[in-house]
Amino acid sequence: MSYQVLARKYRPKSFDTLVGQEHVVRALSHALDQQRLHHAYLFTGTRGVGKTTLSRILAKSFNCEKGITSQACGVCDACVAIDAGRFVDYIEMDAASNRGVDEMAQLLEQAVYAPSNARFKIYMIDEVHMLTNHAFNSMLKTLEEPPEHVKFILATTDPQKIPVTVLSRCLQFNLKQMPPGHIVSHLDNILGQEGIAFETPALRLLAQGAHGSMRDALSLTDQAIAYAAGTVTLDAVQGMLGALDQSFLIRLLDALAAQDGAAMLAVADDMATRSLSYNAALQDLGSLLHRIALAQSVPAAIAEDMPLREDVLRLADSFDAEEIQLFYQIVLHGRNDLGLAPDEYAGFTMTLLRMLAFRPGMVAAQASAALPQAALRGGPSVAVARAVVQTAPAAAARATYAAAVPAIKGQNAQAPDTGATVSAAINATAALPAAEAPAAGSPAAGSPAAGSPAAGSLNASTPAPGMSRGRAALEAARNGARRVAPPEPRAATVPVESAPIMRTPTSVAPAPPWELDEQPPMLDPGSTAARGLSQKKTDFGTPMVTATHAVAQTLASYAPEEPVVTAPPASNPVTSNAAASNAAVPDAAASRTPAPGALPVPELDWDGNWPLLAASLPVRGVAQQLAQRSELLSVDVNSGTPQLHLRVAMETLLSAGSADKLTAALTEYFGKPVRLTTETGAVSHTADAQASSERAERQRAAENLMQNDPFVQTLIREFGASIVPGSIKPI
């Protein structure tokens, strides 16, 4: 006897042995047991999910000699003949070969005759969507009102091509794809009956390659048995399917965790020598990242027999959940862009380098590494003051600052390792939870008894008991209270006669978490705070307060009732020089409130607000990008010609003569020659960053305004409406 393939040998012969499709089995079983028989059934689904098998089981249930039942005996003449494919009154017709109106007319002519030796004459039309429109129209009347002894069973993989007039005359059942777990268990059972040794990971790989089709899984199993000479192993299945060895992906993620770009490229080169598919590698890498994300969020979802389970759990501990989500998105985009890359190797390696470059841990490490260098240029006291303001705007942060300043002041003369001092102060400050902020007016909150420095010198009314910080800031702004820090004391500025004017880069702190039922605090246009803030015209001609006022408002909500100003010691030489410099500054210039993080330059009659100036310069192209994505570090006016020293984020911004164009624009703006020097490094206080913060602030304000609008709330409450995410845009 010739060999019979597994898909035919182990075809289910009853509803009980059918794998999957429980929803269809339940509906048909109840209908058969209650004798509620329809005259036309339509089975839809992808290839190999059981459409023909269900048709034969249903035919046996209709014509079983023991009666119409959902439990056909399988041993009577009708059941045996249907299983063998030789039952006279069960006609299987292939619509792909008999798709014309003539073939359909011949079938309908035979339908009027009674069955020869069965209860019902059953016509099973496979791939019915291949019939022509004329053939469909010719069968409509018979399909709607067939003779009592005729049943139609239609099967298709593309129900969209079937006319709705045919669909409305049938009971439609959509067969689902087989889950991998069902396929693995079924293959386990079949190979056990065949007496063939196998490895469970190999069956999982076969189930993945079947893509939900049980027939494909059985065909692949037949092929794997022949390929491996009677033993289904993981290595054999990987070689047969050309699947990627998962060890390559594990090595890639290990190198990514170690931030070793050379090792990642070495893995890519190793894959190239083996002619492995990079598209399949990205697909498998996405699956591996999905399993790692499951291990981080739902550890119980990781099965004990999952391949590489130990490596998955280890990698789940090596990365943060946010990093895994980011890597998953990068892999998906990399796979979509693979066809646009110069070649697959370039597209794959660029995806790996993108994961390495945009890893959140590396970005934070680069930013923290740049902070000590900024402290060296701006002075330890200024650097620590701004770092404390950025990392902990609560009163507890000012207490830590007050404890750190005396040591820093005592070390100014010796100029020790200021980077270590700054890092220690920032780490101690950032570790303070916001809940530990003491009450306003207490020594820890920056009262005069505590000797807090100028970082706590902000005026604000103490929030009333029970009032949130957001509401308190709003009320204080409406009453005209000051919401910005006063001009920095001249004691913190190096005089022009002795050294260049320098500034420490600062970053824009996020806005406070206002409650959802509150409006964001807006400043009264006539208040002192609004006049002191730098403004910028939007594209719509509407003046908009820059996002830096959110930082000042957040700090003001924690400030004590009385301003606290600590005078520096008179013996400090920097203070003495600064006092002499202050005496020479006109009163009008001293009365102006500079922008946060800016140092005025009286020689140029400029307030030192580089982001505002960079956004208004009449330059275009690369020169405009250089102006808006650079940070002013210092201004040297001692050499006769003012010299502006900028830090640039990327070296490419200095190409195409962009620096010369920017120098010409600055010379025209100031009315006198200026020079421009640059360096490359991380930047934060730029026009581009400020514009992004402004847009984010406007977007947040617009969303809060829309969510709190009474009319919108009424629509949501009474009509079940919802706001489409991303549809709210500020104007």
Query: In this predicted structure, what is the pLDDT of residue 172?
Result: 93
Query: In this predicted structure, what is the pLDDT of residue 598?
Result: 67
- 279 found inside a domain: yes
Out of 241, 263, 282, a domain closes at: 241
Asked if residue 96 and residue 210 are part of one domain, the reply reads no
- 122 found inside a domain: yes
Asked if residue 123 and residue 64 are part of one domain, the reply reads yes
The model's pLDDT over 397-448, given as tens digits with 9 standing for 90+, comes to 444 444 444 444 444 444 444 444 444 444 444 444 444 444 443 433 443 3
Query: In this predicted structure, what is the pLDDT of residue 360?
Result: 64
The model's pLDDT over 577-614, given as tens digits with 9 standing for 90+, comes to 333 333 333 343 333 444 555 667 887 888 888 888 88
Of 312, 328, 329, 303, the closest CA to residue 250 belongs to 312
**Tokens read off for 435:** 């809940």
**3-state helix, strand and coil shares in percent for the chain, rounded to the nearest 5:** 55, 10, 40
Query: In this predicted structure, what is the pLDDT of residue 324?
Result: 93
- 399 found inside a domain: no
**Tokens read off for 356:** 């390495």
Q: What is the mean pLDDT of the chain?
A: 74
Print the domain residue range for 77: 6-174
| Distance, CA of 595 to CA of 193 (rounded, Å) | 81
Query: In this predicted structure, what is the pLDDT of residue 604?
Result: 81
Which CATH number do you get for residue 62?
A: 3.40.50.300
* pLDDT exceeds cutoff 80 at 103: yes
> Across residues 31-55, what is the average pLDDT?
93
Which CATH number do you get for residue 337?
A: 1.20.272.10
| Distance, CA of 369 to CA of 415 (rounded, Å) | 19
Asked if residue 254 and residue 148 are part of one domain, the reply reads no
| Distance, CA of 216 to CA of 258 (rounded, Å) | 41
What residue has token string 């390696």? 349
Asked if residue 40 and residue 78 are part of one domain, the reply reads yes
Which CATH number do you get for residue 204?
A: 1.10.8.60
- 57 found inside a domain: yes
Query: In this predicted structure, what is the pLDDT of residue 392?
Result: 39
Asked if residue 281 and residue 328 are part of one domain, the reply reads yes
The residues pairing with 90 across neighbouring beta strands, listed in sequence order, are: 122
Asked if residue 259 and residue 117 are part of one domain, the reply reads no
- 699 found inside a domain: no
| Distance, CA of 39 to CA of 122 (rounded, Å) | 10
| Residues of the chain above pLDDT 70, percent | 67
Out of 331, 358, 385, a domain closes at: 358
Taking the chain, what is the end-to-end CA distance rounded to the nearest angstrom?
80
Asked if residue 83 and residue 46 are part of one domain, the reply reads yes
Asked if residue 287 and residue 147 are part of one domain, the reply reads no
- 293 found inside a domain: yes
> Across residues 127-143, what is the average pLDDT?
92
* pTM of the predicted protein model: 0.49
Asked if residue 28 and residue 69 are part of one domain, the reply reads yes
Asked if residue 22 and residue 106 are part of one domain, the reply reads yes
Query: In this predicted structure, what is the pLDDT of residue 439?
Result: 40
- 130 found inside a domain: yes
Q: Number of folded domains in the chain?
A: 3
Out of 174, 207, 227, a domain closes at: 174
The answer to whether residues 79 and 60 touch, using CB atoms and an 8 Å cutoff, is yes
**Tokens read off for 670:** 């100031």
| Distance, CA of 282 to CA of 338 (rounded, Å) | 10
The answer to whether residues 635 and 500 touch, using CB atoms and an 8 Å cutoff, is yes
Asked if residue 260 and residue 230 are part of one domain, the reply reads no
* pLDDT exceeds cutoff 70 at 555: no
Query: Which H or E run includes 42?
Result: strand 40-44
Of 339, 337, 341, 345, the closest CA to residue 273 belongs to 345
Strand residue runs (E) in 228-293: 231-232
> Across residues 344-372, what is the average pLDDT?
74
- 543 found inside a domain: no
Query: In this predicted structure, what is the pLDDT of residue 672?
Result: 84
| Contact partners, residue 331, CB within 8 Å, separation at least 6 | 282, 285, 286, 289, 351, 355
| Distance, CA of 237 to CA of 288 (rounded, Å) | 19
The alpha carbon of 725 is separated from its chain's Cα centroid by a whole number of angstroms, namely 15
| Parallel, antiparallel or unpaired: strands 675-680 and 171-174 | unpaired
Query: In this predicted structure, what is the pLDDT of residue 99?
Result: 86
The model's pLDDT over 170-226, given as tens digits with 9 standing for 90+, comes to 999 999 998 888 999 999 999 999 999 998 888 988 998 898 899 999 999 999 999
The residues pairing with 93 across neighbouring beta strands, listed in sequence order, are: 125
The answer to whether residues 580 and 495 touch, using CB atoms and an 8 Å cutoff, is yes
Asked if residue 259 and residue 232 are part of one domain, the reply reads no
